[in-house]
Amino acid sequence: MSAAVPNDLVVALDVGTSSVRALLYDGRARPLPGAGAHVPYRPRIDRDGAAEVDADRLIGLVGGCLDELLRRARPVLTGPVGAVGVSTFWHSLVATDTEGRALTPLFLWADTRSRRAAEELAGRLDPEAVRRRTGCTLHASYWPARLAWLKRVRPDLWRRPVRWLSFGDLLYWRLFGHPATSLSMASGTGLFRLEDRSWDEELLAALDVDPARLPPLAEVESGLAPEFAARWPQLARATWLHAAGDGALANLGSGCVDPTQRALTVGTSGALRAMCSELPAPPPPGLWCYRLDAERLVVGGALSNGGNLQDWMSQVLNLDRPRLQEQLRQRRPGAHGLVFLPLLAGERSLGYAPHAFGAVAGLTLATTAEDIAQAGLEAIAIEFARVDRRLDEVLPAPRRLVASGAALLGSPSWMQVMADAIGRPVAAGRAEEASSRGAALFALERLRPDQAPPAEPGVTATFEPDEAAHRAYEGMRRRQEALYEVLVARRPPDA
């Protein structure tokens, strides 16, 4: 590889729900060998629905990750970095004082303690009108429900001046000395009007939230605070793009930049998304729509259960994962005879039931741990098939889905199940860290707006659907939907 001009180098910072990564990329969006850092962490998860992390601790992990990246990059980084792109999870919320000090934990997308508040809001407002304006349903994942819940459990936050921020907003306040947010992060709050690109006044009034307490919109920053400029001299003069949503950046990083290819991501959670410049119609119920920037939107569905379900089954059922993958390859679809509702971490798309839970039906004395695990992995694929069918209502059929995320790319057997259940080719994306590569591309677009973008990363393998297997999964889908209807959809929330 030829040596890169220093200003053509960009840093991609990727803050996920289980780790922080930082990678150095060249001007063609290729990661430089050895120039990367990875810091895992665990949010606090509790039976009451809590999913949170200490915001200051996470900011400390980000700083440490950048320290380690710059240390490892010394052999190739001989000058300043041109730009920094940042990918973070959508929907997080933290309250701070007017100096940017956190007053609450950072609540993550998986926190469901505001589920009853979401139901109460839906009774007071027109949920469909809200969804059409914001692209988001009234659900515990988003800010409206969480703010309504916080007003009940933390009324003191409404008696003092506070700022309401996502994690990326707080990180940039610490780095640059003032609060701001991107169109992308604002669009994932559920408080933002997609078309007008402004905070939703009706929702703010219903929540008794002063719009002045929300961060203003911004695209880029420069001029790190002196503390950080001295700590990271290679980044001090860089253009820092405001944090964007990891899902939209995963589409960009995997080359799924128009509706002909949909991005299928399975990490801790999962999502299936298409990128477009505009929607031909409002997304049908169960789907959401967010922005990458002023010109690009992503529409799709998200599952709260993905790699986390696989991890849970491996631990609870005491399964050897490589052996499970081999068995999954050899077994016929549905050989277990079970119906599995894979909603252990709650539900987002398609039903958004605030009280959703997991269940397994059809157990007998002959059922094995491997049967249950196969049923769980197949059930996740069936949920993605349902999202894909709903996307077909507003977008043309894609030629393929491009997969990313360690949980899925690490399992060829599960990739084949996905292709069979969805009924479309599923390609393994060559960009192993699609959100990270997307952040690098986003930075390169800003750094060199007149140059052609780097080529798509390509794929390593494509899994073609088997028609007989697809028919079997269609029958399983109908049974899974019937069980959901009985146990979740018709069940009173407080039952």
Shared-domain flag, residues 128 and 200? yes
**Same domain assignment for residues 370 and 473:** yes
- Mean pLDDT confidence for 219-246: 96
Least Cα distance to 341 among 475, 480, 473, 474 occurs for 480
- Cβ distance 274 to 256 under 8 Å? yes
Residues facing residue 269 across a β-bridge: none
Task: Give 254's strand partners.
Answer: none
Domain boundary among 245, 266, 281: 245
Q: Are residues 327 and 403 in the same domain?
A: yes
Distances in whole angstroms, Cα of residue 45 to Cα of each of 51, 103, 166, 207: 5, 19, 19, 26
262, 401 contact by CB (below 8 A): yes
pTM flag (> 0.85): yes
Expressed as residue numbers, the domain containing 50 is 6-245
CATH number at 214 reads: 3.30.420.40
* β-strand partners of 22: 13, 37
Same domain, 84 and 226: yes
The answer to whether the beta carbons of residues 179 and 242 sit under 8 Å apart is no
Reported as a pLDDT band with limits 50, 70 and 90, residue 409 is very high
pLDDT digits (tens, 9 = 90+) for 5-40: 456 899 999 999 999 999 999 999 999 999 999 999
- What single letter denotes the amino acid at residue 84? V
Beta bridge partners of 361: 339
Is residue 442 situated within a structural domain? Answer: no
> Regarding predicted confidence, which is higher, 372 or 5?
372
Q: Is 456 among the domain residues? A: no
**What are the tens digits of pLDDT across the range 293-347?**
999 999 999 999 999 999 999 999 999 888 888 888 889 999 999 999 999 988 9
Inside any domain, residue 294: yes
Instruction: Clarify whether residues 239 and 275 are in a common domain.
Output: no
> How far are the Cα atoms of 125, 193, 200, 434 from residue 129, in angstroms, in the given order?
8, 11, 12, 33
Which range (3-12, 129-138, 429-438) has the least confidence? Answer: 3-12
Query: Which one, of 112, 149, 114, 143, lies nearest residue 130 by Cα?
Result: 143
In a domain, 435, yes or no: no
Claim to verify: residue 223 and residue 275 sit in the same structural domain: no
Domains held by the chain: number: 2
Answer yes or no: do 70 and 137 share one domain: yes
**Which has the closest alpha carbon to 404: 427, 387, 370, 422?**
427
191 and 311 part of one domain: no
Same domain, 236 and 262: no
- In this structure, the answer to whether residues 181 and 81 fall within a common structural domain is yes
- Give first-to-last CA distance, the chain, whole Å: 62
Final residue before a domain boundary, out of 192, 219, 245: 245
Q: Exposed, middle or buried, 134 (CB in 10 Å: 0-12/13-18/19+)?
A: buried
One domain, residues 238 and 351: no
445 in any annotated domain: no
Residue at a domain's end among 180, 212, 245: 245
Task: Quote the tokens at residue 307.
Answer: 């790699």
Q: Are residues 178 and 225 in the same domain?
A: yes
Cβ contacts of 143 within 8 Å, gap of 6 or more:
91, 93, 164, 189, 190, 191
Please report whether residue 234 resides in a domain.
yes
Question: Hey, CA dihedral for 483, 485, 488, 490, is it positive or negative?
Answer: negative
Whether 460 maps to a domain, the answer reads: no
Residue 440 lies in a domain: no
